[in-house]
Amino acid sequence: MRQTIRSFVLRQGRVSHAQRRACETLLPQYGIPFTENPLDLDQVFGRSAPKILEIGFGMGESTALIAQKHPENDYLAIEVHTPGVGSLLNQIEALGLTNLRIIQHDAVEVLEHMLPAECLHGIHIFFPDPWPKAKHHKRRLIQPALVARLCEHLKPEGYIHAATDWEDYAVQMLQVLNNEPRLINTASDYAPRPEYRPLTKFEQRGLKLGHGVWDLIFSKK
């Protein structure tokens, strides 16, 4: 699958000393370099366990908490922005996590080249860039082609869990996911936030201000 429109822009954000040090010293241990060869995920993690993919983990707070609370699963997290990668690497080290690995690369290319068919038990996409301007909606990550690609990597009864705090993006997500014939909605429309997805500080502030958050959880037939 060729991607002509990227869903992200590599902004020149500030990278702290601790984040830079983590990328230099910890990424070789907890990172997986991009390659055009399929991964053996059981070999990567050293065991056979359910594999969950997260696309775009931001600063990684939720990612680390989920991995810590669910040691029975292995988590593969993808992010392009260096501050977030450094932040999550530091959390992996601080928490002693052995079930979390990072790929710093474009998720679409990782899906295309590195992940075998039906290798994943779940996929998390939490608060992707909403690209709020109408002229930028084509840059939004959740599009029919990507969802079709995700389904190829999901095991039967595997799930896609997306969340957003932008209502019009939630409406688009619901339409795109509903239109994928291999998926079925686990709720009538939007799902209650499951226990495993922790509230972020940003999300808590938004809820106190009356902002909405929409979770969508679809299962592969």
Active-site residue 129, yes or no? Answer: yes
- What is the Cβ-side half-sphere exposure of residue 44, based on CA atoms within 13 angstroms? 22
Q: Whole-prediction pTM value?
A: 0.92
Parallel/antiparallel/unpaired status of strands 214-220 and 154-164? antiparallel
Question: Which of the following is catalytic: 40, 129, 189, 215?
Answer: 129
Quick one: tokens of 55? 């696309």
**Sorting pLDDT into bands at 50, 70 and 90, what band is 1?**
very low
Does residue 164 contact residue 127 with C-beta atoms inside 8 Å? yes
Q: Which residue has the tokens 């939004």?
A: 140
Other beta carbons less than 10 A from residue 90's beta carbon: 19
Instruction: Determine the pLDDT at residue 14.
Output: 85
Enumerate the β-bridge partners of residue 217.
161
Does residue 163 contact residue 200 with C-beta atoms inside 8 Å? no
Instruction: Determine the pLDDT at residue 9.
Output: 54
Q: What's the rounded Cα separation, in Å, for the pair 22 and 93? A: 9
With a pLDDT cut of 90, the percent of the chain lying above it is: 86
Q: Report whether pLDDT(37) > 60.
A: yes
Backbone angles phi and psi of 130, in degrees to 5: -80, -15
**Sorting pLDDT into bands at 50, 70 and 90, what band is 200?**
confident
Q: Report whether pLDDT(121) > 80.
A: yes
Instruction: Determine the pLDDT at residue 206.
Output: 81
Instruction: Determine the pLDDT at residue 126.
Output: 96
For all residues of the chain together, what is the average pLDDT? Answer: 93
Instruction: Determine the pLDDT at residue 3.
Output: 47
Residue range 87-118, pLDDT digits in tens: 999 999 999 999 999 999 999 999 999 999 99
Beta-carbon contacts of residue 124 (< 8 Å; ≥ 6 apart):
52, 53, 54, 55, 66, 161, 162, 197
Instruction: Determine the pLDDT at residue 57.
Output: 96
